[in-house]
């Protein structure tokens, strides 16, 4: 492998490019017209514009991406996550063009891509699944299926993920509208309106197992990640190892995850996701046939590079023998930083006027932005990930609190205030979490002077880089003193 095209943007494109450079592989960045000045563009040795801002005309346009690979003589494509990363037809087109696909076999992606079929396959492989009903176009049959499961139930998109096409139904009279809404959303997001039903588990934990396979058929489990802190069914805080598993459940979950991978002939990095009920019984939820956003916490606790392993396996190398016996060292936590309102979780846009990352021992930031970056609403609003590692969970929480207190992004509203509240909460510290944690989090205290006022004053002052914020806002209290001791310097 000599030249790698990274078919993605933002922090994951930068992260893949970093490992490729370490291996002496040249990289090709792709970008839409909206991303001409984006940080990931300069991370590549070569950059190619692939279309206008709408993702369907650029990052989701398989033909343009393959054409860019041909034009730049790239001999491999890494899809990152999101966009085309789990599209088996794209993977097949890449391979048909004589280009190496850095990811699992298209057959494995296809087997796990449709959730209804994946559930049946997992049952056949002996993997425990959430009780469910496979779905039907007949409303009466759907109603009977829901009644047999017992309310509450979840309506879920067969081709879905990330909470899209999902509805919680508490009563029978709510079912028809929930099914209609889920089908409409699934058709818009995935081009497939098929839905099915699952029994809703009370206060579940979301725990996933990282697996990795090579082309020789070897599949290993690389430990679990706790992903219960979510908003809108999407993860925002992850950690490894999970504080909710004992040795017996951990071993059984790892065995089930490996069985899932072997059942579809899996190779490369993948994640088998489970729900854990209050009795610590676990159920298969879905399999993500790609690198996960939260892969960094596994890397930090095991001392490995999952992207490097992906590139090596795609290059024909077997998985390292020692990977089957890796044990976590210490504890790692990741917080996802999004351009969104910290209370409503709605996306926000703007220009990053000031940017300062936390740093220090055990602190890692994978970011897709810098000062001057323009954040739009065309793509997923993730800006960066803050990852910390320490010798114990308590020490990792303390390190994350400090890191978030020193992370400064001005000009774009972010969810950092919410992340600070999460890691400072008593329940999080005690490991008392589930997928409804964020909804139960107490409301924030009175906020400091609005950031908009600070930004306006900084802009009026010409972006001065000396003195404190309070010196720019005469008579105002310094809003950063309590939060992070940051000064505009």
Number of separate domains in the chain: 4
Cα–Cα distance measured from residue 463 to residue 53, given in angstroms and rounded to the nearest whole number: 29
238 with 383, same domain? yes
Dihedral sign of CA atoms 424, 430, 433, 437 in order: negative
| Residue 424 CB neighbour total at 10 angstroms | 14
Cα–Cα distance measured from residue 186 to residue 193, given in angstroms and rounded to the nearest whole number: 5
289 with 253, same domain? yes
193 with 213, same domain? no
Dihedral, 306, 311, 316, 321 alpha carbons, nearest 10: -20
Helix, strand, coil percent values for the chain (each to nearest 5): 35, 25, 40
161 with 245, same domain? no
Q: How confident is the model at residue 23 (pLDDT cuts 50, 70, 90)?
A: very high
Comparing 131 with 464, the larger pLDDT belongs to 131
Burial class (CB in 10 A: 0-12, 13-18, 19+), 4: buried
Predicted pLDDT of residue 13: 98
Residue 471 has pLDDT above 90, yes or no: no
188 with 216, same domain? no
Within 13 Å, how many C-alpha atoms sit on residue 70's CB side? 12
190 with 233, same domain? no
93 with 149, same domain? no
Mapped onto helix, strand or coil, the DSSP state of residue 368 is: coil
Query: What percent of the chain clears pLDDT 70, i.e. is strictly above it?
Result: 91
Q: Please, what is the Cα angle at 281 between 391 and 143, to 5 degrees?
A: 135
194 with 225, same domain? no
Distance linking the first and last C-alpha atoms of the chain = 44
Residue 227 has pLDDT above 90, yes or no: yes
Q: What's the CATH number where 143 sits?
A: 3.30.1490.20
Token reading at 470: 């309070």
459 with 419, same domain? no
**Mean pLDDT over residues 439-455, rounded?**
69
Residue 155 has pLDDT above 60, yes or no: yes
DSSP secondary structure letter of residue 365: E
pLDDT in tens, 79-89: 999 999 999 99
pTM of the model: 0.87
* 463 domain residue, yes or no: yes
Q: What's the CATH number where 13 sits?
A: 3.40.50.20
217 with 366, same domain? yes
Cα–Cα distance measured from residue 389 to residue 201, given in angstroms and rounded to the nearest whole number: 31
Burial class (CB in 10 A: 0-12, 13-18, 19+), 246: exposed
Yes or no: say if 331 and 301 are a contact pair by the CB < 8 Å rule: yes
Residue 285 has pLDDT above 70, yes or no: yes
**Mean pLDDT over residues 339-367, rounded?**
97
Annotation marks residue 290 as catalytic:
yes
- Which residue range forms the structural domain that includes residue 471? 451-483
148 with 285, same domain? no
pLDDT in tens, 165-174: 899 999 999 9
* 191 domain residue, yes or no: yes
Q: Which region, left, alpha or beta, applies to residue 83 given φ > 0 means left and ψ of -120 to 50 means alpha? A: left
Mapped onto helix, strand or coil, the DSSP state of residue 438 is: helix
Provide Rg for the chain, Cα atoms: 23
Residue 455 has pLDDT above 60, yes or no: no
Predicted pLDDT of residue 458: 57
Catalytic residue, from 9, 100, 121, 290: name it.
290
């Amino acid at each position: 492998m000599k030249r790698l095209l990274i078919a993605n943007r933002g922090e994951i494109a930068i992260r893949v490019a970093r490992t490729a450079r370490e291996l002496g592989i040249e990289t090709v960045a792709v970008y839409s017209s909206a991303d001409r000045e984006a940080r990931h563009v300069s991370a590549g040795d070569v950059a190619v514009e692939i279309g206008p801002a709408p993702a369907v005309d650029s990052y989701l346009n398989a033909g343009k991406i393959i054409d860019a690979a041909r034009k730049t003589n790239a001999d491999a494509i890494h899809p990152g996550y999101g966009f085309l990363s789990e599209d088996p037809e794209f993977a097949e087109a890449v391979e048909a063009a004589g280009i190496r696909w850095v990811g699992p076999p298209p057959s494995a992606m296809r087997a796990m891509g449709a959730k209804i079929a994946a559930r049946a396959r997992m049952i056949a492989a002996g993997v425990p699944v959430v009780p469910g009903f496979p779905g039907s176009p007949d409303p009466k049959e759907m109603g009977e299926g829901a009644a047999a499961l017992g309310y509450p139930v979840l309506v879920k998109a067969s081709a879905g993920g990330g909470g899209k096409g999902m509805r919680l139904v508490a009563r029978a009279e709510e079912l028809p509208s929930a099914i209609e809404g889920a089908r409409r959303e699934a058709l818009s997001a995935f081009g497939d309106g098929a839905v099915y039903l699952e029994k809703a588990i009370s206060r579940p934990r979301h725990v996933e197992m990282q697996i990795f396979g090579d082309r020789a058929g070897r599949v290993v489990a690389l430990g679990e990640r706790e992903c219960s802190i979510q908003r809108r069914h999407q993860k925002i805080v992850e950690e490894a190892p999970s504080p909710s598993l004992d040795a017996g459940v951990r071993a059984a979950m790892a065995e089930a995850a490996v069985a899932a991978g072997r059942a579809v002939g899996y190779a490369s990095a993948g994640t088998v996701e489970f729900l854990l009920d209050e009795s610590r019984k676990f159920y298969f939820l879905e399999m993500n046939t790609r690198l996960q956003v939260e892969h960094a916490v596994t890397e930090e606790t095991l001392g490995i590079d999952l992207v490097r392993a992906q590139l090596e396996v795609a290059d024909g190398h077997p998985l390292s023998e020692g990977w089957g016996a890796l044990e976590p060292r210490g504890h790692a936590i990741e917080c996802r930083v999004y351009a969104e309102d910290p209370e409503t979780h709605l996306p926000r846009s703007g220009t990053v006027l000031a940017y300062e990352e936390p740093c220090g021992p055990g602190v890692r930031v994978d970011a897709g932005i810098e000062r001057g970056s323009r954040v739009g609403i065309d793509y997923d609003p993730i800006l960066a990930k803050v990852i910390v590692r320490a010798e114990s969970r308590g020490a990792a929480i303390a390190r994350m609190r400090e890191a978030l207190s020193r992370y400064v992004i001005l000009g774009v509203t972010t969810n950092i205030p919410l992340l600070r509240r999460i890691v400072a909460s008593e329940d999080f510290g005690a490991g008392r979490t589930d997928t409804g944690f964020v909804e139960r989090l107490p409301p924030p205290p009175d906020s400091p002077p609005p950031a908009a006022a600070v930004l306006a004053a900084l802009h009026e002052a010409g972006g001065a880089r000396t003195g404190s914020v309070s010196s720019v806002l005469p008579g105002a209290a310094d809003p950063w003193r309590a939060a992070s001791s940051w000064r505009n310097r």
